[in-house]
Amino acid sequence: DLALKATLAELRAYWDGLRRAGALPRRQDIQPRGMAGVLSGAFLVERTAPGVGRLRVAGQLLGDLLGMDAAGMPLSALFDPMSRTRLGTLLDICLLRPATLEMAFTCEAGPGQPALRGRLSVLPIASDGSRGEMGLGVLALAGAIGRAPRHLQPIGARTSRIELPRYRRLTSFEEFAAPAMLPQQPAPGRAQVGRRAYPHLRLVDQQG
């Protein structure tokens, strides 16, 4: 278990290092060389519909579990059919709330398929600057995969909400108050009456 947790911790440290002022890491900031130690189990998952996450990038370990290239496959393809609905709910929480997601799992043993256990983690990344609809994840296994495909059976899951920075609220309206305007002087030849100006009346004496 220590080795499994160390793998998840390594990816978490990389993800934490990409955060700026508490914001989620950006997709364009993620580079394979930054997580070389966990690259075989690393993946990028994108939420394409409610409860559906598709693998956009997938390490070799995920392909070994499926017995085929995992890129382009739904993340749920790695899981036992009975647990896929629950996975979709957890993935939505992770990518929309956003929150970190960590799962522990086993794989049912069978002919050519030895006992297998492991952990999986998904960490949200920014897609619109405020919340995540993509996730950076890692899969860690203990045991031999054997004959593929193998399907993960969750035995525990935990989500932890991420507090994102909020816009600073203004505390002083005066910062935006317009400067005081000097009263306008009446134009020559006009008299002020209330707020309206009228021309001076001039008496003209007409005779004859």
Predicted confidence (pLDDT) per residue in 145-196, tens digit: 999 999 999 999 999 999 888 754 444 444 444 444 445 555 555 544 444 5
Across residues 34-61, what is the average pLDDT? 95
Predicted confidence at residue 166, as pLDDT, reads 73
Q: What is the rounded distance in angstroms from the CA atom of residue 81 to the CA atom of residue 79?
A: 6
Q: How many CA atoms lie within 13 A of 7 on its CB side?
A: 20
Q: Is the model's pLDDT at 36 over the cut of 70?
A: yes
Where is average pLDDT lowest: 25-39, 118-132, 133-147, 164-178? 164-178
Per-residue pLDDT band for 127 (boundaries 50, 70, 90) equals confident
Predicted confidence at residue 172, as pLDDT, reads 46
Per-residue pLDDT band for 31 (boundaries 50, 70, 90) equals very high
Predicted confidence at residue 184, as pLDDT, reads 56
In tens, the pLDDT along 53-96 reads 999 999 999 999 999 999 999 999 999 999 999 999 999 999 99
- The pTM assigned to this predicted structure is 0.78
